[in-house]
Amino acid sequence: QVQLQQSGPGLVKPSQTLSLTCAISGDSVSSNNAAWNWIRQSPSRGLEWLGRTYYRSKWSNDYAVSVKSRITINPDTSKNQFSLQLNSVTPEDTAVYYCARVRGWGHYGMDVWGQGTTVTVSS
């Protein structure tokens, strides 16, 4: 059974960097048949896909246009996990952040989700 366990701070100051980690059990971050995603949820923006990392002979990333200049998603094969970094945060980045797996190229949506991390951006 695949499980995703999120960790990271729940409070980030404006202009600083939001950092979250998602530890994978039951699957591999290096799987050739999965992609590892970050999604956030807020009352104003609903569910918003942020980006993904995946391995298909080499590592690749895709990011949402809305955060592309500020986001980095990195795999960590030694710990079988992946991370999210979002720079220069503002109160608009306050949301519940989820990590999630998709199989294949993601057409079928996210079949495994992390427990969610509530992140508040405030001084």
Partner 1 sequence: DVVLTQSPLSLPVTLGQPASISCRSSQSLVHSDGNTYLNWFQQRPGQSPRRLIYKVSNRDSGVPDRFSGSGSGTDFTLKISRVEAEDVGVYYCMQGTHWPPTFGGGTKVEIK
Using CB under 8 A as the criterion, which residues of the chain lie in contact with partner 1 when the complex forms? 46-49, 62, 64-65, 98, 106-111, 113-116
We find the least distance from the C-beta atom of residue 4 to partner 1, in angstroms, to be 9
Nearer to partner 1, 48 or 76 (CB): 48
We find the least distance from the C-beta atom of residue 16 to partner 1, in angstroms, to be 26
Nearer to partner 1, 65 or 123 (CB): 65
We find the least distance from the C-beta atom of residue 63 to partner 1, in angstroms, to be 9
- DSSP labels, the chain: --EEEEE--SEE-TTS-EEEEEEEESS-TT-TTEEEEEEEEETTTEEEEEEEEEESSSEEEEE-GGGTTTEEEEEETTTTEEEEEE-S--GGG-EEEEEEEEETTSTT-EEEE---EEEEE--
